[in-house]
Each structure stands twice: as C-alpha cells, then as structure tokens.
Amino acid sequence: MNEIGNCRSRTGIIFSEYFLLHRTGRNHPESPARLQAIIRGIKHLNLLKNKRCVLIKPRIAKLDELEMVHSLRYIRAVRNLCNSGGGILDEETGTLVSPESYAVARLAAGGAIRAVDMVMEGKLRNAFVISRPPGHHASRASASGFCIFNNVALAAKRLIDKFSLSRILILDVDVHHGNGTQEIFYDTDEVLYISLHEDPSEFPRSGFIDEVGKGKGKGYTVNIPLPFGASDPAYWKAFKSVVVPIVLCYKPEFILVSAGFDGYFKDPIGELLLSASLYLKVFQVIIDLAHRLSGNRLVAVLEGGYCPSFLKKIVPAVLSRMMNMEAKVTEHRPRFSITIHKIAEKIIKEVKEIQSRFWNL
C-alpha cells in the first residue's frame, strides 16, 4: 500500500478481502464474485501501480457510529442473527446473512466513513468504496434489498456531525430507488437526495415523483422514476435537464454517489437498458460537478450491479476518470423503443413541473 501522508492528489480505492466473507448462498446475485470481478478489472488496468491511486483499508464502524443512522435494536438484531449462525433478515427481498456478515457490514459502513474522513482531511482527492453488502435500501430499523447498514447515509451523517457540513448531495444512480436513504433524510435540508431509477411500483414501492421531502426537507428529495425498458437517451435527458440544474442550484459541499450499476442492459435484475458509455458519461459529469462546486470532494460507494463482467469493466473505467485519466468502454448498444422513450419524456416533464416549485429549472 502507498503512503497515506502523500495522497491528497490521489484517488482512494477502499477495499478489503474481508468484504468477500459476507455469504449469501448459491446463485444469489449479490455475491463475492461481483467484487472479485472489479478487483480483476483494476489489476488489468494496473491502477494500483499508478501514483494517482492508493489502496486504503476500511475500518470497522463503531457502534455509536452505526447509531447515527440505525436503531440500537436493529443493530442488535443483525448481530444476534449472525451470531446464531445467520439466516434471513428480510424474506421478501432475499436479504440474507452468514455468521461473518455483521462484521463485514460494519466494515463496509466503516469504509464509507473512512473515505469521507480522508477526503475531508485532505488525504485523498476523491474515493471509491468497493464494498459489500450494499446499503441504500437499509432504513433506520430494517434491512431490505440485500442491504444491511446504509453505508452512504452513514457517510453523509459523518459529514454533518464531524465536519459540520450542511449541504451534502447524495446522487443515487442505482437502478432501484434508495428507499432507505430517502427515509433517513426525508425531513432535512442538509442532504439533497436525488435518485434516478426504474419504475418502483413493484420494488421498493417508494421513489415516485410526488415524494419530495417533508418539513425542512421539502424540496430536498428528487425522484426520477423511468419506465421499464428506458434507455440511454431518456436517462441522459433526465440527468441533463433535471439533475444537473438542481445540483448547480444546490452547490453541494460534498458529493456522495450511491454507485449502482444494475441499470446496465444485460443486468439480470435491473429493467433499464443503459450502456457502459452512458454510465461513463454520467460519472464524468458528476466528477466535473464535484470539481466545479465541491472542491473535488467526491466519494462513490458501491451499491448494486449484478453482472460481474460489466462491473469488471465499468468500475475501473470510472476510477480512471476519477484519477483524471482517459478511459473508454466499447460495446454493442442496447435496443431503443420510441414508445417507452415517449413515456419517459412525459415523466421527466412531470418531475420538472413538480421540482420547479423548489428549484430554478
């Protein structure tokens, strides 16, 4: 591992082999193979030998850190289930734990906390937390959608509590709505939560356009639900015409990305038809926004993405861009449906109408 003292211009890769020890059983899509593929991709590009990059070990999140977001009762329930040999945390979504999962989930949470600490302390330029289990479906007192502790929410809370930030953007590009993250920050203006996702009617049944926050948080939740089968042009239009103008208005002090890659057209779970080049284009805009608005303070935290051969390609490419290096991805384009595109355009128009009550769109 490189020296940490010399890292302020470097991109941190937060990773530990321990993340592979959370076992979900045979044929479960959220498997250790996802991270193994990413690490193979990183090695293939020789990123760890590059001076612009540094491998950082995560640390275990302390109990009181987890309590920034989760109830003690829930944390103990996770611990007890793992200590008794593991089992099902949430039946409906197939959220399972093995005996090691409590420690591994705390390590994933601690990895996200460590990443924001190091960026804030000027020890890293930006960072990508390559961890599992993912987090954005985990709410204050329940697990869901393969998520146990909400890593990105814990990172945001850390920025508020330790570093007194009050304008944090969480941009959720996972194909599913981050119901846990939305719930945790629904009534605050200190976190702007923006999510682009597929139709959430079946799962997680939140993330509709009229969910905009409440109380002080009104206007600080932005949901863009795209119809099943929507592809690059609709996603790009939503991103450029809704996400970017709102972020420019908000002027975040820190950008956190819930980096899910399950909108990819070959993903076995996601129902959008996005390409690798769309993801790269979106991340480049996020990197540029962080440069322009947040002093480059950007941390991406891995969420979903269940096509290991795609993760192997896209995560190292995004990392290269975060390191200010060229990265290209080539592939066949997913199919495009004009009918679905028109439905998507109508939804984007409705989102703009609703959000223009709060933002200059």
Q: Which residues are catalytic?
A: 137
Q: Does 260 bind Zn ion (CB under 5 A)?
A: yes
Instruction: Please identify, among the stretches 37-45, 106-114, 297-305, 331-339, the one whose residues bind Zn ion according to the rule CB under 5 A.
Output: 297-305
Identify any residues that bridge with 9 across adjacent strands, giving them in sequence order.
none
The CB-of-228 to Zn ion minimum distance in angstroms stands at: 14
Pick from 262, 300, 321, 340 the residue near Zn ion by CB under 5 A: 262
Q: Which long-range contacts (CB under 8 A, 24 or more apart) does 60-65 make?
A: 60/103, 60/106, 60/107, 60/110, 61/106, 61/107, 61/109, 61/110, 61/113, 61/149, 61/154, 62/110, 65/109, 65/110, 65/113, 65/154, 65/158
Q: Does 271 bind Zn ion (CB under 5 A)?
A: no
Tokens 């290269």, residue located? 320
Q: Does 174 bind Zn ion (CB under 5 A)?
A: yes
Q: Does 172 bind Zn ion (CB under 5 A)?
A: no
Task: Please say whether the beta carbons of 89 and 143 come within 8 A.
Answer: yes
Give the Cβ contact number of residue 176 at 10 Å. 27
Q: Closer CB to Zn ion, residue 118 or residue 301? A: 301
Q: Which two tokens stand for residue 97?
A: 């734990």
H/E stretch holding 339: helix 338-355
Q: Does 158 bind Zn ion (CB under 5 A)?
A: no
Q: Does 304 bind Zn ion (CB under 5 A)?
A: yes
Instruction: Please identify, among the stretches 15-23, 114-122, 182-190, 299-307, the one whose residues bind Zn ion according to the rule CB under 5 A.
Output: 299-307
The CB-of-198 to Zn ion minimum distance in angstroms stands at: 9
Q: Closer CB to Zn ion, residue 5 or residue 268? A: 268
Name 268's Cβ contacts closer than 8 Å, sequence gap at least 6: 29, 306, 307
Q: Does 176 bind Zn ion (CB under 5 A)?
A: yes
The CB-of-253 to Zn ion minimum distance in angstroms stands at: 27
Name 153's Cβ contacts closer than 8 Å, sequence gap at least 6: 69, 135, 136, 138, 170, 180, 181, 184, 185
Q: Closer CB to Zn ion, residue 117 or residue 198? A: 198
Instruction: Please identify, among the stretches 16-24, 48-56, 60-68, 298-306, the one whose residues bind Zn ion according to the rule CB under 5 A.
Output: 298-306
Instruction: Please identify, among the stretches 66-74, 158-166, 174-182, 251-259, the one whose residues bind Zn ion according to the rule CB under 5 A.
Output: 174-182
- Whole-angstrom distance, CA of residue 285 vs CA of residue 298: 12
User: Binding string, 315-334, against Zn ion, x = CB under 5 A?
Assistant: --------------------
Q: Which two tokens stand for residue 126?
A: 């930006």
The CB-of-260 to Zn ion minimum distance in angstroms stands at: 5
Q: Does 136 bind Zn ion (CB under 5 A)?
A: no
Q: Judging by DSSP bridges, how do beta strands 254-259 and 298-302 pair with one another?
A: parallel
- Whole-angstrom distance, CA of residue 206 vs CA of residue 263: 17
Kindly state the number of chain residues that form the binding site for Zn ion, as judged by CB under 5 A.
Answer: 5
The CB-of-176 to Zn ion minimum distance in angstroms stands at: 4
Q: Does 225 bind Zn ion (CB under 5 A)?
A: no
Determine what percent of the chain falls in helix, strand and coil, rounding each to the nearest 5: 40, 15, 45
Instruction: Please identify, among the stretches 85-93, 160-168, 262-270, 347-355, the one whose residues bind Zn ion according to the rule CB under 5 A.
Output: 262-270
Give contact residues for Zn ion (rule: CB under 5 A). Answer: 174, 176, 260, 262, 304
